[in-house]
Amino acid sequence: MKLRGTVTRAHEARSKEPRAAPLRSTRDLILDAAEARFAKSGFAGVSVREIAADVGLKNQASLYHHFKNKRTLYEAVLARGVETIVDLVTRNGERAAKDTSIMDATLDPVVDYLVEHPQLPRLIQRAGIDDTQYLRATATKLLRPLYAQGVQVLAAAQAPWVPEDLPHVAAGFFHLIFGYFANAKLLEMVVQHDPLSPAAVARQRRFLKRAVTELLRIGSVPVTAKAGGPRRKLRR
């Protein structure tokens, strides 16, 4: 009995020990390094050699085993982040715009992902700043579905906005959610505290939920407008 108790206590002690994080693949490590580099310096300001060095690869040829060239790597970085966000919005987006509890369940995973990948909003921002024909095609292909999904969710949820305003509402949501992370460095200089600290992110999370609820006016009557006629004011 004594031996069994000792074994049991040893097993319990081991079960309480923190488990080691699963090892990440070389491909994922390359994507992480490239995401940080592209977000900071843009596509043209980054070399494959720098990314390979960040990952600890012997040379850039090792990176080409995973990605054909820098453009393929850039597209993979952008696609990984944007497609994940689109998937999170798609799951419960239409129901979330009518139900605050579902909205919380939709916003929380998006914020969690941006906390894990704070460079993603800056990467998207850089895609617009760089604005080359070559990058424009890539950004349009990957970002257009995110915009289209947002407008579709708003339309299906009968948000209290006239149809021609929905693109602006979608853009407003984008700036509310992504702009905070994309401009974290600027915010830190202005407010004099780290906007990405756990406490600051918690406050931003609460603000987002309140702001989205107000913008969607969940439970209110949708706004309608006749062609050429005045718009009805939103219910307060």
**Res. 128: pLDDT tops 90:** no
Q: pLDDT by residue (tens digit) across 195-213?
A: 999 999 999 999 998 888 8
Look at residue 105 and tell me if it is in a domain: yes
Look at residue 61 and tell me if it is in a domain: no
Tell me the C-alpha distance between 139 and 226, whole Å: 36
Contact between 177 and 64 (Cβ < 8 Å): no
Look at residue 157 and tell me if it is in a domain: yes
Q: State residue 98's pLDDT score.
A: 58
Q: For the domain that residue 206 is a member of, what is the CATH number?
A: 1.10.357
Quote the mean pLDDT of the chain: 79
Is pTM beyond 0.75? Reply is no
Q: What's the domain count of the chain?
A: 1
Look at residue 209 and tell me if it is in a domain: yes
Mean pLDDT of 15-38: 77
Tell me the C-alpha distance between 37 and 49, whole Å: 11
Residue 73, CA distances (Å) to 30, 45, 85, 143, 186 in order: 9, 14, 19, 16, 28
Look at residue 191 and tell me if it is in a domain: yes
Lowest mean pLDDT among 37-41, 91-95, 172-176, 227-231: 227-231
Tell me the C-alpha distance between 182 and 125, whole Å: 7
Q: State residue 91's pLDDT score.
A: 73
Helices (H), ranges, the chain: 2-16, 26-41, 48-55, 60-63, 70-96, 100-116, 119-130, 133-156, 166-182, 184-191, 198-216
Residue in 119, 116, 113 with CA at minimum distance from that of residue 84? 113
Q: pLDDT by residue (tens digit) across 135-164?
A: 778 778 888 888 887 787 777 766 678 888
Look at residue 116 and tell me if it is in a domain: yes
Look at residue 120 and tell me if it is in a domain: yes
What angle do helix axes 119-130 and 133-156 make, rounded to 10 degrees? 120
Which residues span the domain enclosing 195? 75-216
Q: State residue 205's pLDDT score.
A: 93
Handedness of CA 182, 188, 193, 194 (dihedral sign): positive
**Res. 6: pLDDT tops 60:** no
How many Å is the Cα radius of gyration of the chain?
22
Contact between 39 and 119 (Cβ < 8 Å): yes
Handedness of CA 110, 116, 117, 118 (dihedral sign): positive
Tell me the C-alpha distance between 111 and 173, whole Å: 13
**Res. 73: pLDDT tops 90:** yes
Q: pLDDT grade, residue 230 (50/70/90)?
A: very low
